[in-house]
Amino acid sequence: MYVDLDPRAGEDLATERERIRKRLNGSLAADGIPTPSFIIDSGGGWQAFWRLAEPIELNGDPAKVEDAERYNIELARKLGGDATHNIDRIMRLPGGLTNWPNAKKRAKGREPAPTRLYDWHAAEPYPLAAFKQAPTARAEAPASRKAPRATQKPVPVPAGPYGVAELEAWATTNGKVLPGAALKALVHGEQLTDDNGQRIYRSGSEATWAVCCGLARAGVPDELIAAAILDKNNGGAAHVHRQQKPTAYAWMQVRKARAEVEAEADAADNDTILEEMNRLHAVVVQGKVRVLSWVKVEPDDEHSDLAGRLVVDLQSFEDFRNRYRNKTVVVGFSDNGKPKLMKRGDWWLDHEHRREIRGLVFRPGGEAEINGFQNLWRGWAMEPKPGDWSKMREHVRAVLANGNDEHADYILRWTAWAVQNPARQAEVALVFRGGRGVGKGIFARAVKDLFGQHGLHIRSSKHLTGDFNLHLRDCCLMFADEAIAPGDKAAESRLKGLVTEPQLLIEGKGENAVMSPNYLHIVMASNEKWVVPAGDDERRFAVFDVSGARQGDQAYWNALVAELDGGGLAAMLFDLLAMDLRDWHPRRSVPQTDALMRQKVASLTGLDAYLYDLLCVGEFPELKNLPEKGPFVSTDSLRIAASVWLRSRHGEQHVSGNDVSELMTMLGATKYRRGGGGGRGFLLPSLAAMRTKWDAAKFPATWPAVAESETIPQQNELDVAPPSRGDDEKPPF
């Protein structure tokens, strides 16, 4: 089996070649096509071949040959290949040169291109059952009228006479039916009249054209058509012999007629047109009846993050008809052999075999259609294939996990779990924090690319918090790249829901909001100190501080990119899908990293943030040391100092006495009221004891070293009673 894929006419050659290469190296399985046994770069385009496990016995039977070629036709249809499908075709071998340029192209520097073996697959050959056949042409379809291809140059015509009798004898022998209108035009030429005596043809050239086209549609060979219009015994030949060079003129008319008929037949291949229209569109029959199409998002300021993704577009029947108003299909032929045309939009909408669906669902890994609903799942971006991705694996260990093998294992397991379970939430987001150019994004983009259509790279919080979020409907892997700004409470709340909520509220412009299952697996990256809203007992985020050891090492990055482009992505997908995870789940073993602790600290707000800062520096405002009681701080002192400290920070700034009392009690302080109008406050335990209380009640922190003597007042400080003196002791003045 083979397919020949050439760049589309009018398109950039390099761009087209890359498009075809990615198609052959991509997810052919989604189209029911096995991986090619080998791929040849033919210089201009690409050729893919599949080895069969058993030969197909033909024994010279034309029906068996045609049946075998239908497999190649189906491959060409699915992949957009050329019309070459004959099984006796001779292909170029690797090592030669092809696409020899003419003199004009050589003058511009164009060189012949080498043919080379691009890829080969060492697996066992395929059984014939692994392939599908193109449908047989229906007898009643206009495409069955397709005539043999035009003769490339004139050949000797049969000796005359060659009139109606000879043509009908040929038709009888070959099982053909000749159109009466063409035979009448051959006999009478431009003198042919209708029942009212009116001439049917306005000129001799029009009559000759009718003869050539009518006979060509019937499958009459070119040389026999030329013989008929050159035979002076036929009235229609008079016009031909009035030309300066009758034979050359006759052949010119035959070739032009053949080209016209071939174009008609190509346009009349309604099975192919129906298949193509059903691939591009479907009628949604529930609710408002609309025509569904797929549209690729083009990059612009508003949708730059979504560029390249396919999105659903719904059109009314009227808009759909207008869309195809400039394209027609052949639905039959008139008595004089002219094709009857119908607007393609009308034809497809009225066709009994148009594609219809009940609506849309998204079930990752599911069938293309589920209970009449179109499944938005389109599979992986490429076919998994064994190979080498050792550089990326080492990048995860040495850079993303900063050399920590346990953390690297979690990152890889999380990623494997995501690809093995695209229809289940991870409930934990991977978060990478570090400077610019240290390597956070290259891994996240690679994982996003594995998911193809279902991977999304966003750089703006509006794609998290905006009113319209239809882009999340078919998303499995979201890479949020600097997408949340510190203090953006709406984005923080939305992010938490995206990580753990089982359902999402999906709303498109002009559409009703609907609840949809949440299949998101989220990877985040940021250069900021604060990245995620990490709570005291955080289990939603696995946070890693990325090593900067490779920052600016261009050779390292070039090698890593080359590995991914050279099959590393496919190898990565292959190994991740094969990783033995058993009952492992990302939420059960979230690493409690120092980076996560720092996110918890950065996420502190209000009085929590202020008291944490006091515990770090070991200093309390207006601290008193009471005789026989120890260190004392008043409630008002704490409240006022906290309010002043919080003015320059985002978040809650109001501090009440109750707030102070609750948190100081949590730290092990004892409520105390000083006599003599000294006010209410707290007797403090040691700094170490308060830090221990914080670790138990909030989260374990990494505390800076502070000498206890720097915090706890000594007995000779303020408010300590002076030594007693006798009554006879004179005052010191």
pLDDT of residue 151: 44
pLDDT of residue 494: 82
Structure tokens at 373: 């609903």
Q: Judge whether 634 and 681 are in contact, CB under 8 Å.
A: yes
Tell me the three state secondary structure of residue 184. helix
**Quick one: which of 178, 260, 168, 176 has its CA closest to 213?**
260
pLDDT of residue 448: 95
Binned at pLDDT 50, 70 and 90, residue 290 comes out as very high
Q: What is the DSSP letter of 449?
A: H
Q: Judge whether 611 and 663 are in contact, CB under 8 Å.
A: yes
Q: How far apart are CA 256 and CA 611, in angstroms?
A: 91
* 3-state percent helix, strand, coil for the chain, nearest multiple of 5: 40, 15, 45
Q: How far apart are CA 88 and CA 541, in angstroms?
A: 60
pLDDT of residue 322: 95
**Quick one: which of 543, 556, 549 has its CA closest to 432?**
543
Binned at pLDDT 50, 70 and 90, residue 80 comes out as confident
Ranges in the chain annotated CATH 1.10.10: 604-698
Buried b / exposed e across 29-41, counting CB within 10 Å, b at 16+?
A: eeeebbbbbbbbb
Q: What CATH architecture does domain 604-698 belong to? A: Orthogonal Bundle (1.10)
- Phi/psi at 64 (5° precision): -70, -35
pLDDT of residue 623: 87
Residue bearing the bigger pLDDT, 349 or 306: 349
Q: How far apart are CA 309 and CA 307, in angstroms?
A: 6
What is the rounded average pLDDT of the residues 289-296?
A: 89
Ranges in the chain annotated CATH 3.40.50: 390-597
Q: Judge whether 24 and 372 are in contact, CB under 8 Å.
A: no
Q: Which residues, 6 or more positions from 610, have their beta carbon under 8 angstroms from its beta carbon? A: 641, 642, 645, 646, 655
CATH of 2-130, one of 3.40.50.620, 3.40.50.300, 3.30.70.1790, 3.20.20.70: 3.30.70.1790
Q: Is 190 exposed, middle or buried (0-12, 13-18, 19+ CB in 10 A)?
A: buried
Q: How far apart are CA 331 and CA 3, in angstroms?
A: 30
Partners of residue 189 on adjacent β-strands: none
Share the mean pLDDT of the chain.
Answer: 83
Tell me the three state secondary structure of residue 157. coil
229-250 residue pLDDT tens: 999 999 999 999 999 999 999 9
CATH of segment(s) 390-597? 3.40.50
Tell me the one-letter amino acid at 121. Answer: H
Write out the H or E segment, with its range, that includes residue 674: strand 670-674
Task: Give the pairing type, strands 624-626 and 630-634.
Answer: antiparallel
**Quick one: which of 50, 52, 116, 48 has its CA closest to 81?**
48
pLDDT of residue 442: 95
pTM beyond cutoff 0.75: no
Q: Is 276 exposed, middle or buried (0-12, 13-18, 19+ CB in 10 A)?
A: middle
Binned at pLDDT 50, 70 and 90, residue 721 comes out as very low
pLDDT of residue 149: 45
- Phi/psi at 706 (5° precision): -135, 130
Structure tokens at 467: 């009113």
Q: How far apart are CA 415 and CA 521, in angstroms?
A: 9
- Phi/psi at 477 (5° precision): -125, 115
111-141 residue pLDDT tens: 677 889 988 887 788 899 889 988 764 333 3
Q: How far apart are CA 130 and CA 127, in angstroms?
A: 6
Q: For 534-576, where are the E strands, in sequence order?
A: 541-545
Buried b / exposed e across 530-555, counting CB within 10 Å, b at 16+?
A: bbbbbbeebbbbbbbbbbeebbeeee
Binned at pLDDT 50, 70 and 90, residue 155 comes out as low
Structure tokens at 703: 């505390």
What is the rounded average pLDDT of the residues 194-214?
A: 91
Q: How far apart are CA 432 and CA 439, in angstroms?
A: 9
159 half-sphere exposure, CB direction, 13 A CA radius:
0
Tell me the three state secondary structure of residue 585. coil
661-700 residue pLDDT tens: 898 999 999 999 887 666 888 999 999 999 999 989 888 8
**Quick one: which of 362, 274, 272 has its CA closest to 312?**
362
pLDDT of residue 559: 95
pLDDT of residue 646: 86
